[in-house]
Chain A
Amino acid sequence: MVDLAVNLGPLRLKNPIAVASGTFGFGREYEQFYPLRDLGAVITKAVTLEKRVGNKPPRLAETAAGVLNSIGLENPGVEQFLAADLPHLRRCGATVIVNIAGRTIQEYRAVATRLAQAEGIAALEVNISCPNVKEGGIAFGTEPQMAQKVTAAVRGVWPGPLIVKLSPNVTDIVLLARAVVEAGADIISLINTLTGMAIDTDTWQPKLANVVGGLSGPAVKPVAVRMVWQVAQALTVPIIGMGGIMTVEDAVEFLLAGATCVAVGTGNFWQPTLAGALVGQLADYLGARGLNDVNQLVGKVGKGGDKWRNCV
């Protein structure tokens, strides 16, 4: 019997396979593929104080082994989430992590305050890194002092496990990670999308109406693995790793780099059954190697440079 349970500081998950914010809605659309309670956690689409309609279409452009999106945080707002979506997720038995976003620090605090009054939320994930909204999002995610202020504001009103999702669009990811940990983050999610752009060479127009968007999918995985590894080397904070996970081997890479949990994002679009299937595949990966605890993988990447040691 393989033990898949993981502890991320104060957050205990039955297994380390989650689904990434923005790719899974509030879970409803994926129940037809597997029970949501099978997952370590469902990380919801970003919830904001007020309803948001998002950016103009087109919001999507496919790139080489990747996808650019500029959804723009379309969501029904926190009250609707609490009235309809959270109760539904709880009925499904899902472990619910709510991703929150805002235009101002006050908005982040207000959403977190409201969510703190609700039952059944395992953790908050603070989205300080959405590349697709003009105000707030990206500045909060790229300036350590701003990141710290947002984190501290949410920390002040949310007593439960607090995750901060960082942007990869920075020179030194460790600097940002350290800043939010000092401000009270219990867990770090790495990575949000990389800002990108694609141009139609027939029309000479940007492929996204928003001009720029966030790149995700297998194309970004090496960047994500590197950032997880860098933060894991520098800090002891638990990490949720994500970015282009399509196979169990991809998930294992993140764990070896130092993530304690991983999230499937764009992979849900490729194969909607993927995240549910990875739970069993991860157990098989461990079992085939005579391992009985997934924690035996976390941070176990070698130092490199030993040409005779390519396998466990």
Chain B
Amino acid sequence: MPENVEIIQNKPLGGDYYRLTVSSQSLSRATPGQFAHLLVQSQQEPPTWDPLLRRPLSIYDLEGDKASFLYRTVGRGTKILARAKPGEKLDLLGPLGRGFQLGAAPTLLIGGGVGAAPMLFLAHTLHERGQEFAVLLGARSAQELAHAGDFAKYTSAVFLVTDDGSLGRQGIVTDFVPEIIAQFSAIPKLCACGPMPMLAALAALAAKEKLALDVSLEARMACGVGACLACTCFLRDGNTARVCADGPVFPYEVLDWRG
């Protein structure tokens, strides 16, 4: 059921990044990798249906009934969301989708840009389970990695990479995966979210090195619950899957990585 939630915080982090925290009963049962579908227009206003559609945001972290989201202001919807103030209400649907499958294996979490969004909740959960994991975060520059500090709460194994070398090492995340894997006690499973070129490069690496890799996909969504088939992705076997309901997390080998 949609829930009218109160905004606790909606904080600019630098770059175009924001962290939104809401008080939500429905999201308190979420698992890492699931998302919420939000109406960005504050419920204090009469609806104008512009923007019309909800915005799917991965759950960034969850503490009791406080759920947070990491988002970037990339379009009209997220820019309007950035104006929402603490105390205001937002209409939210969730938790939606299938998240990360948690196993016993050590895990390397990889977030490219705002693809860090589902990773903090995953780090939080792995930390609570006492599992071995590390986090690799990439962005264009230091300005877009303000969220990196959030991960220190759950692990000291955080590796940072920027395109311009302004924070952490210079390069792209895929350059550093092999050497980070080597530091684990056993070969880890990879869990990744980020731009498609990054995910495709990781899929190629996983295929070559026979690694397990789960990717969280991003897609334009309308209904968010699996009915409209707008967010469909194509699978290797020629079938389709709904990113909203069958995903957003998929084992990389079921997906069709041809352009």
A-side interface residues toward B, CB under 8 Å? 22-25, 28-30, 32-33, 45, 53-54, 56-62, 64-67, 69, 71, 74, 217-218, 246, 266, 268-273
Contact B227 A29 (CB under 8 A): yes
Residues of B within 8 A of A53 (CB): 234, 238-240
Contact B2 A272 (CB under 8 A): yes
Bound form: Cα–Cα A66–B221 in Å: 14
Bound form: Cα–Cα A273–B91 in Å: 12
| Chain B residue at minimum C-beta to C-beta distance from A32 | B1
Known A-B contacts A269-B54, A271-B2, A272-B93; A54 and B223 likewise in contact (beta carbons under 8 Å): no
B207 an interface residue at 8 Å Cβ cutoff? no
Contacts A/B (CB < 8 Å), 5 sampled: A25-B226, A32-B225, A218-B50, A266-B222, A269-B53
B87 an interface residue at 8 Å Cβ cutoff? no
- How many whole Å from B136's CB to the nearest CB in chain A? 27
Contact A57 B222 (CB under 8 A): no
Known A-B contacts A54-B240, A60-B222, A61-B220; A66 and B52 likewise in contact (beta carbons under 8 Å): yes
- Contact for A33 among B1, B39, B50, B226, CB less than 8 A: B1
Contact B1 A65 (CB under 8 A): no
Contact B222 A69 (CB under 8 A): yes
- Contact for B230 among A30, A59, A66, CB less than 8 A: A59
- Contact residues of A: prevailing secondary structure: loop
B42 an interface residue at 8 Å Cβ cutoff? no
Max chain B C-beta neighbours (<10 A), residue from A28, A56, A58, A270 = A270
Contact B48 A24 (CB under 8 A): no
Please give me the 5 A-B residue pairs with the lowest Cβ-Cβ distance, nearest first.
A25-B227, A60-B230, A29-B227, A60-B220, A65-B50
Contact B52 A67 (CB under 8 A): yes
What 1/0 flags go to B90-116 for Cβ under 8 Å of A?
010100000000000000000000000
- Contact for A59 among B39, B223, B232, CB less than 8 A: B232
B-side interface residues toward A, CB under 8 Å? 1-2, 39, 47-54, 77, 91, 93, 219-234, 238-240, 245
Bound form: Cα–Cα A272–B223 in Å: 8
Known A-B contacts A57-B231, A246-B47; A270 and B226 likewise in contact (beta carbons under 8 Å): no
| Chain A residue at minimum C-beta to C-beta distance from B238 | A53
Residues of A within 8 A of B223 (CB): 23, 29, 268-269, 272
- How many whole Å from A208's CB to the nearest CB in chain B? 10
Residues of A within 8 A of B240 (CB): 53-54, 74
- How many whole Å from A251's CB to the nearest CB in chain B? 15
- How many whole Å from A245's CB to the nearest CB in chain B? 11
- How many whole Å from B5's CB to the nearest CB in chain A? 15
Known A-B contacts A268-B223, A269-B222; A71 and B52 likewise in contact (beta carbons under 8 Å): no
Residues of B within 8 A of A270 (CB): 39, 47, 49, 52-54
18 further A-B contacts with Cβ under 8 Å, apart from A57-B233, A60-B230, are A25-B227, A30-B227, A57-B232, A58-B220, A62-B53, A64-B50, A65-B52, A66-B52, A71-B229, A71-B232, A74-B240, A266-B52, A268-B227, A269-B224, A269-B228, A270-B49, A270-B52, A272-B223
